[in-house]
Amino acid sequence: MAILSDVDIKKYLNEGKIIINPIEDYDKQIQPSSVDMRIGSEFKTFKVVRKPFIDPKDPTDISSYMESLHLKEDESFIIHPGEFALATTYEFVEIPDDLVARVEGRSSMGRLGITMHVTAGYIDPGFKGRITLEISNIGKMPVALYPGQRVCQIVFETMTTPSQKPYGHPDRDSKYMGQKRPESSRIKQDYELRKD
């Protein structure tokens, strides 16, 4: 696999092969081998629940353990040490069938102790939607996050051939296709946990 350079990223964007909408400023958001992405205005956090653990097989909807918070443009979301939250990129993304993408935290955020993805930094070919950010504060101090702030970057890699069954294909279990807001885990839809 090869990582796309800024030259190829601009070319693919201009051709409509990659869609990132909206890009506020090409010169500031497009980096040498990535595109800086901004955080949206909706966050999800876990409520304090009197249960001993989350069971993926439990018929209770996991989203009932979470609450949503919508911020105005000038408001901040404070993430405290040890906390976890979901958010999405401000930008809507479409990945073609012959590329994969990765979300990486910006170094400036990492130096504050903020991670932007716990495990789901990989974006399949064919994905369309806003990218979910799995945010954790592993530092010692609370940190403010502002809607529209550049918090992560997306990197594109070529595949040897286009995917035969990309994300969103009718034969695939594409649980998060087209997401527009932070989505709670849909793990109970995994085939190995379902009892059909």
On whether 82 is known to bind a ligand per the annotation, the reply is: no
24 is catalytic: no
On whether 134 is known to bind a ligand per the annotation, the reply is: yes
Contact indicator for 53, 81 with CB cutoff of 8 Å? no
Distances (CA, A) of 177 to 53, 139, 181: 28, 32, 11
On whether 86 is known to bind a ligand per the annotation, the reply is: no
On whether 50 is known to bind a ligand per the annotation, the reply is: no
On whether 61 is known to bind a ligand per the annotation, the reply is: no
**Active-site position among 24, 75, 134, 192:** 134
On whether 175 is known to bind a ligand per the annotation, the reply is: yes
On whether 106 is known to bind a ligand per the annotation, the reply is: yes
> Which positions are catalytic?
134
Binding-site residues from annotation for dCTP = 106-111, 124, 132-134, 153, 167, 175, 179
